Structure 1
Amino acid sequence: MRTHWLSSCLVLLITTLAVAQKNTQGISGQVLWKAGNFMPTIGTKASVPKAVPVVREVYIYALTNDKQVDAGEDAGFYQKVNSKLVRKVKTDKKGRFSVTLPVGYYSVFTKEEKGLYANLFDDAMNINPVQVQKRRWTKMDVVVDYQAVY
Protein backbone atom coordinates (compact mmCIF):
# COMPACT_ATOMS: atom_id res chain seq x y z
CA MET A 1 0.00 0.00 0.00
CA ARG A 2 2.76 2.43 0.98
CA THR A 3 4.75 1.61 -2.21
CA HIS A 4 1.69 2.33 -4.35
CA TRP A 5 1.19 5.68 -2.59
CA LEU A 6 4.85 6.65 -3.13
CA SER A 7 4.66 5.62 -6.78
CA SER A 8 1.51 7.70 -7.24
CA CYS A 9 3.19 10.72 -5.63
CA LEU A 10 6.26 10.34 -7.85
CA VAL A 11 4.14 10.12 -11.02
CA LEU A 12 2.18 13.21 -9.93
CA LEU A 13 5.40 15.15 -9.24
CA ILE A 14 6.95 14.22 -12.60
CA THR A 15 3.72 15.09 -14.42
CA THR A 16 3.47 18.42 -12.60
CA LEU A 17 7.08 19.31 -13.47
CA ALA A 18 6.57 18.33 -17.12
CA VAL A 19 3.42 20.47 -17.38
CA ALA A 20 5.13 23.40 -15.62
CA GLN A 21 8.10 23.24 -17.98
CA LYS A 22 5.78 23.06 -21.01
CA ASN A 23 4.06 26.27 -19.91
CA THR A 24 7.27 28.18 -19.24
CA GLN A 25 10.33 29.17 -21.16
CA GLY A 26 13.90 30.14 -20.42
CA ILE A 27 17.52 29.12 -20.64
CA SER A 28 19.15 25.99 -19.28
CA GLY A 29 22.69 24.79 -19.68
CA GLN A 30 26.06 24.35 -18.12
CA VAL A 31 29.06 26.57 -17.40
CA LEU A 32 32.33 24.94 -18.45
CA TRP A 33 35.89 26.01 -17.59
CA LYS A 34 38.70 25.60 -20.13
CA ALA A 35 42.34 26.23 -19.26
CA GLY A 36 45.54 25.08 -20.92
CA ASN A 37 46.76 24.32 -24.43
CA PHE A 38 44.02 23.30 -26.86
CA MET A 39 46.29 23.68 -29.91
CA PRO A 40 46.21 20.69 -32.28
CA THR A 41 49.38 18.63 -32.27
CA ILE A 42 50.88 16.43 -34.99
CA GLY A 43 52.95 13.35 -34.32
CA THR A 44 52.64 13.38 -30.54
CA LYS A 45 50.16 11.83 -28.22
CA ALA A 46 49.83 14.88 -26.03
CA SER A 47 46.59 14.87 -24.11
CA VAL A 48 44.32 17.78 -24.75
CA PRO A 49 42.76 19.21 -21.58
CA LYS A 50 39.00 18.92 -21.21
CA ALA A 51 36.37 21.43 -20.30
CA VAL A 52 35.21 20.92 -16.72
CA PRO A 53 31.96 22.07 -15.09
CA VAL A 54 32.35 24.94 -12.62
CA VAL A 55 30.26 26.81 -10.08
CA ARG A 56 29.66 30.38 -11.24
CA GLU A 57 27.16 33.18 -11.00
CA VAL A 58 25.45 33.67 -14.34
CA TYR A 59 24.21 37.18 -15.12
CA ILE A 60 21.48 37.58 -17.71
CA TYR A 61 21.02 41.04 -19.16
CA ALA A 62 18.71 42.45 -21.79
CA LEU A 63 20.44 42.00 -25.16
CA THR A 64 23.64 44.02 -24.86
CA ASN A 65 25.76 45.46 -27.65
CA ASP A 66 29.52 46.08 -27.37
CA LYS A 67 28.77 49.82 -27.26
CA GLN A 68 26.74 49.35 -24.04
CA VAL A 69 29.60 48.09 -21.86
CA ASP A 70 32.69 49.42 -20.16
CA ALA A 71 35.36 46.90 -21.11
CA GLY A 72 38.19 45.91 -18.82
CA GLU A 73 41.85 45.86 -19.81
CA ASP A 74 41.68 42.14 -20.64
CA ALA A 75 39.65 40.93 -23.63
CA GLY A 76 36.28 39.45 -22.73
CA PHE A 77 35.96 41.20 -19.37
CA TYR A 78 33.47 43.96 -18.62
CA GLN A 79 33.49 46.28 -15.63
CA LYS A 80 30.04 47.72 -16.25
CA VAL A 81 27.11 46.60 -18.37
CA ASN A 82 24.82 49.49 -19.28
CA SER A 83 21.70 47.47 -20.00
CA LYS A 84 19.04 46.03 -17.70
CA LEU A 85 20.04 43.12 -15.46
CA VAL A 86 17.16 40.68 -15.86
CA ARG A 87 18.21 37.71 -13.69
CA LYS A 88 21.15 36.34 -11.78
CA VAL A 89 21.50 32.63 -10.97
CA LYS A 90 24.20 30.40 -9.47
CA THR A 91 25.14 27.09 -11.04
CA ASP A 92 25.16 23.85 -9.09
CA LYS A 93 28.31 21.77 -8.44
CA LYS A 94 28.10 20.33 -11.96
CA GLY A 95 27.93 23.78 -13.51
CA ARG A 96 24.25 23.42 -14.42
CA PHE A 97 21.76 26.25 -14.39
CA SER A 98 18.17 26.82 -15.38
CA VAL A 99 16.30 30.09 -15.34
CA THR A 100 12.79 31.04 -16.47
CA LEU A 101 12.65 34.19 -18.58
CA PRO A 102 10.12 36.14 -20.60
CA VAL A 103 10.22 35.75 -24.37
CA GLY A 104 13.01 37.92 -25.79
CA TYR A 105 16.70 38.32 -26.50
CA TYR A 106 19.36 38.32 -23.78
CA SER A 107 23.11 38.50 -23.21
CA VAL A 108 24.73 36.02 -20.82
CA PHE A 109 27.84 36.69 -18.70
CA THR A 110 29.65 34.86 -15.90
CA LYS A 111 31.10 36.59 -12.88
CA GLU A 112 34.88 36.27 -12.64
CA GLU A 113 37.49 37.99 -10.45
CA LYS A 114 38.34 40.48 -13.21
CA GLY A 115 34.71 41.37 -13.94
CA LEU A 116 31.85 39.95 -15.96
CA TYR A 117 33.05 37.64 -18.73
CA ALA A 118 31.70 36.82 -22.18
CA ASN A 119 33.65 36.41 -25.39
CA LEU A 120 31.11 35.53 -28.09
CA PHE A 121 29.39 38.01 -30.38
CA ASP A 122 26.85 37.87 -33.18
CA ASP A 123 27.25 39.78 -36.45
CA ALA A 124 25.71 42.92 -34.90
CA MET A 125 28.27 42.83 -32.03
CA ASN A 126 25.70 41.76 -29.45
CA ILE A 127 27.52 40.02 -26.60
CA ASN A 128 26.88 36.30 -26.01
CA PRO A 129 23.30 36.52 -27.31
CA VAL A 130 20.51 34.00 -26.70
CA GLN A 131 16.86 34.01 -27.75
CA VAL A 132 14.04 32.76 -25.55
CA GLN A 133 10.93 31.67 -27.44
CA LYS A 134 7.43 31.12 -26.10
CA ARG A 135 7.11 27.79 -24.23
CA ARG A 136 10.61 26.68 -25.27
CA TRP A 137 13.73 26.06 -23.24
CA THR A 138 16.90 27.19 -24.98
CA LYS A 139 19.96 25.09 -24.21
CA MET A 140 23.07 27.19 -23.80
CA ASP A 141 26.45 26.04 -22.60
CA VAL A 142 28.68 28.90 -21.45
CA VAL A 143 32.42 28.36 -21.92
CA VAL A 144 34.76 30.33 -19.69
CA ASP A 145 38.07 30.06 -21.51
CA TYR A 146 40.21 33.11 -20.84
CA GLN A 147 43.03 30.86 -19.64
CA ALA A 148 42.91 28.59 -22.72
CA VAL A 149 45.10 28.73 -25.81
CA TYR A 150 43.73 27.63 -29.18
Structure 2
Amino acid sequence: QASVTAANESTPHNNVQSVMRKLRPPRLQFGRNAYQLYEGEGPFQAPVELDRANPFDDVVVAYTGSQSGILTIPRGQIRTSINIVVKDDPVAEADETWAFQLTNPRGAMLGANDAVQLTILDDDVGIFDYSEEEVIEEDVPPASTSPFFLPISFR
Protein backbone atom coordinates (compact mmCIF):
# COMPACT_ATOMS: atom_id res chain seq x y z
CA GLN A 1 0.00 0.00 0.00
CA ALA A 2 1.35 3.43 -0.95
CA SER A 3 0.29 6.83 0.25
CA VAL A 4 0.97 10.20 -1.38
CA THR A 5 0.24 13.49 0.32
CA ALA A 6 0.33 16.86 -1.43
CA ALA A 7 1.22 20.14 0.27
CA ASN A 8 -1.82 21.95 1.69
CA GLU A 9 -4.01 18.88 1.13
CA SER A 10 -7.49 19.35 2.50
CA THR A 11 -8.90 15.88 1.71
CA PRO A 12 -6.30 13.21 2.66
CA HIS A 13 -8.73 10.29 2.23
CA ASN A 14 -8.19 10.27 -1.56
CA ASN A 15 -4.40 9.82 -1.23
CA VAL A 16 -4.37 6.05 -0.63
CA GLN A 17 -4.23 3.42 -3.35
CA SER A 18 -3.82 -0.32 -2.77
CA VAL A 19 -2.05 -2.46 -5.33
CA MET A 20 -1.65 -6.21 -4.98
CA ARG A 21 1.40 -7.63 -6.68
CA LYS A 22 2.64 -11.18 -6.49
CA LEU A 23 6.42 -11.40 -6.51
CA ARG A 24 8.28 -14.54 -7.52
CA PRO A 25 11.97 -14.65 -6.74
CA PRO A 26 14.36 -15.84 -9.46
CA ARG A 27 15.07 -19.58 -9.64
CA LEU A 28 18.66 -20.68 -9.08
CA GLN A 29 20.05 -23.99 -10.37
CA PHE A 30 22.91 -25.77 -12.11
CA GLY A 31 23.00 -25.51 -15.91
CA ARG A 32 22.48 -29.30 -16.15
CA ASN A 33 22.18 -32.12 -13.65
CA ALA A 34 25.22 -34.09 -14.93
CA TYR A 35 28.53 -33.47 -16.69
CA GLN A 36 31.35 -35.72 -17.91
CA LEU A 37 34.92 -34.80 -18.70
CA TYR A 38 38.23 -36.54 -19.14
CA GLU A 39 40.82 -36.33 -16.41
CA GLY A 40 43.31 -34.53 -18.69
CA GLU A 41 40.89 -31.74 -19.67
CA GLY A 42 41.98 -29.66 -16.69
CA PRO A 43 39.81 -27.28 -14.63
CA PHE A 44 36.03 -27.43 -15.02
CA GLN A 45 33.46 -24.74 -14.31
CA ALA A 46 30.04 -26.05 -13.26
CA PRO A 47 27.62 -23.26 -14.25
CA VAL A 48 25.09 -21.99 -11.70
CA GLU A 49 22.37 -19.87 -13.28
CA LEU A 50 19.33 -17.75 -12.48
CA ASP A 51 16.28 -17.88 -14.74
CA ARG A 52 16.27 -14.06 -14.48
CA ALA A 53 18.35 -11.48 -12.68
CA ASN A 54 17.54 -10.19 -9.20
CA PRO A 55 17.44 -6.39 -9.72
CA PHE A 56 17.35 -5.61 -6.00
CA ASP A 57 20.17 -7.55 -4.34
CA ASP A 58 23.03 -10.03 -4.83
CA VAL A 59 22.07 -13.71 -4.85
CA VAL A 60 24.13 -15.78 -2.41
CA VAL A 61 24.04 -19.59 -2.19
CA ALA A 62 26.09 -22.26 -0.43
CA TYR A 63 27.15 -25.47 -2.12
CA THR A 64 28.23 -28.72 -0.53
CA GLY A 65 29.63 -31.99 -1.78
CA SER A 66 33.06 -33.08 -2.94
CA GLN A 67 34.10 -29.53 -2.12
CA SER A 68 32.04 -26.76 -0.52
CA GLY A 69 31.84 -23.00 -0.54
CA ILE A 70 29.71 -19.90 -1.09
CA LEU A 71 28.76 -18.44 -4.48
CA THR A 72 27.61 -14.88 -5.15
CA ILE A 73 25.80 -13.68 -8.27
CA PRO A 74 25.95 -9.87 -8.25
CA ARG A 75 22.71 -7.88 -8.49
CA GLY A 76 21.51 -7.70 -12.09
CA GLN A 77 23.58 -10.67 -13.31
CA ILE A 78 22.43 -14.25 -13.96
CA ARG A 79 25.45 -16.57 -13.91
CA THR A 80 28.43 -17.79 -11.91
CA SER A 81 30.19 -21.15 -11.60
CA ILE A 82 31.86 -23.56 -9.21
CA ASN A 83 35.50 -23.91 -10.23
CA ILE A 84 36.68 -27.50 -9.93
CA VAL A 85 40.34 -28.44 -10.29
CA VAL A 86 40.75 -31.82 -11.98
CA LYS A 87 44.25 -33.21 -11.59
CA ASP A 88 45.63 -35.47 -14.26
CA ASP A 89 47.69 -38.39 -13.05
CA PRO A 90 49.38 -41.26 -14.89
CA VAL A 91 47.53 -43.96 -12.93
CA ALA A 92 44.93 -46.12 -14.67
CA GLU A 93 41.95 -46.11 -12.33
CA ALA A 94 38.18 -46.26 -12.23
CA ASP A 95 36.15 -43.21 -13.22
CA GLU A 96 35.35 -40.85 -10.35
CA THR A 97 32.01 -39.17 -9.63
CA TRP A 98 31.70 -35.95 -7.64
CA ALA A 99 28.38 -34.55 -6.44
CA PHE A 100 27.39 -31.01 -5.50
CA GLN A 101 24.22 -29.62 -3.89
CA LEU A 102 23.06 -25.99 -3.73
CA THR A 103 21.68 -24.99 -0.31
CA ASN A 104 20.40 -21.97 1.62
CA PRO A 105 19.89 -19.44 -1.17
CA ARG A 106 19.37 -15.76 -0.38
CA GLY A 107 17.79 -13.55 -3.05
CA ALA A 108 16.48 -16.50 -5.08
CA MET A 109 14.79 -19.86 -4.69
CA LEU A 110 16.21 -23.21 -5.76
CA GLY A 111 15.16 -24.62 -9.11
CA ALA A 112 14.79 -28.23 -10.22
CA ASN A 113 18.53 -28.79 -10.91
CA ASP A 114 19.75 -27.97 -7.41
CA ALA A 115 22.15 -30.96 -7.51
CA VAL A 116 24.75 -31.99 -10.08
CA GLN A 117 27.03 -34.97 -10.69
CA LEU A 118 30.41 -34.59 -12.35
CA THR A 119 31.96 -37.79 -13.69
CA ILE A 120 35.68 -37.63 -14.35
CA LEU A 121 36.60 -40.25 -16.93
CA ASP A 122 40.06 -41.75 -16.56
CA ASP A 123 42.28 -41.03 -19.57
CA ASP A 124 45.15 -43.35 -18.68
CA VAL A 125 45.83 -46.63 -20.45
CA GLY A 126 46.35 -49.70 -18.35
CA ILE A 127 49.55 -51.66 -18.84
CA PHE A 128 49.19 -55.23 -19.99
CA ASP A 129 52.37 -57.21 -19.50
CA TYR A 130 52.94 -60.58 -21.06
CA SER A 131 55.80 -62.87 -21.82
CA GLU A 132 56.35 -65.36 -24.56
CA GLU A 133 54.50 -68.62 -24.40
CA GLU A 134 56.19 -71.25 -22.32
CA VAL A 135 55.36 -74.87 -22.96
CA ILE A 136 55.74 -77.46 -20.25
CA GLU A 137 55.37 -80.99 -21.48
CA GLU A 138 54.41 -83.83 -19.24
CA ASP A 139 53.70 -87.43 -19.91
CA VAL A 140 49.96 -87.16 -20.23
CA PRO A 141 48.04 -89.48 -22.54
CA PRO A 142 46.71 -87.52 -25.54
CA ALA A 143 43.12 -88.68 -24.97
CA SER A 144 42.90 -86.80 -21.68
CA THR A 145 44.11 -83.45 -22.96
CA SER A 146 41.65 -80.68 -23.63
CA PRO A 147 42.13 -77.12 -24.83
CA PHE A 148 42.38 -74.43 -22.19
CA PHE A 149 41.12 -70.95 -23.04
CA LEU A 150 41.96 -67.85 -21.04
CA PRO A 151 39.72 -64.90 -21.88
CA ILE A 152 41.56 -61.57 -21.88
CA SER A 153 39.72 -58.30 -22.07
CA PHE A 154 41.19 -54.86 -22.65
CA ARG A 155 39.71 -51.75 -21.18
Q: Which of structures 1 and 2 has the bigger CA Rg?
A: 2
TM-score interval for Structure 1 and Structure 2 normalised by the shorter chain: under 0.3
State the TM-score, normalizing by the size of structure 2: 0.23
